[in-house]
Structure 1
Amino acid sequence: MSKHASTSPGEDLEELDLMIDNMETASQEMEVKKILDGLRGVRAGRVVQGGAWVSYHADTITMEKICAALQQAGYQAGVFQNSDPPVTGTSAE
């Protein structure tokens, strides 16, 4: 995974893979997608079974705040991998 993903010239984004252990239904996936889409600084979010992939502006929002927003909604969200520095298996709890 690269340090920065660029979706348009001059737009540097961080990438974050999240584990969401208790997201098990399609309605929960839709809720998580809605939460991610509503966070200022999150550019894109793709929800997959058991987790999500997010690209975000690190100068606007942190990975801890992304996880906290999901945790406040009752989800067991933690960082699987982030792009800067590459870290796997950590938790933002």
Structure 2
Amino acid sequence: MRSFGVLVSAGVLLGVGACSPYDPPVQGDHASDKYKTDLEACRKSSSHAVYLRNARAPGPWIISPITGPPAVRAAIRTCMTGKGYVLAEGGK
């Protein structure tokens, strides 16, 4: 019974951590209006694209709470670099 509680706690922590807004490690002024607009557009499009990709089959859909957040973060980084932002040294 204790292991079940640990598993549930870990799941809750992962879920809560996944909800925090992601700001990719790119060079530039993160406080500028242009950056904020670009980042919000990338967040929306990336989340939607990953959701649609995971919804295509039962397997990816079932594990999407685990695989989804890293996939969304990677898609946001790709989107931001596509808009001309450069990843900071060692940024993943």
TM-score (norm 1): 0.43
Q: What is the TM-score of this pair, normalised by structure 2?
A: 0.43
More helix by share: 2
Between structure 1 and structure 2, the one with the greater Rg is 2
Q: RCO (CA 8 Å, sep 6+): is it higher in 1 or 2?
A: 2
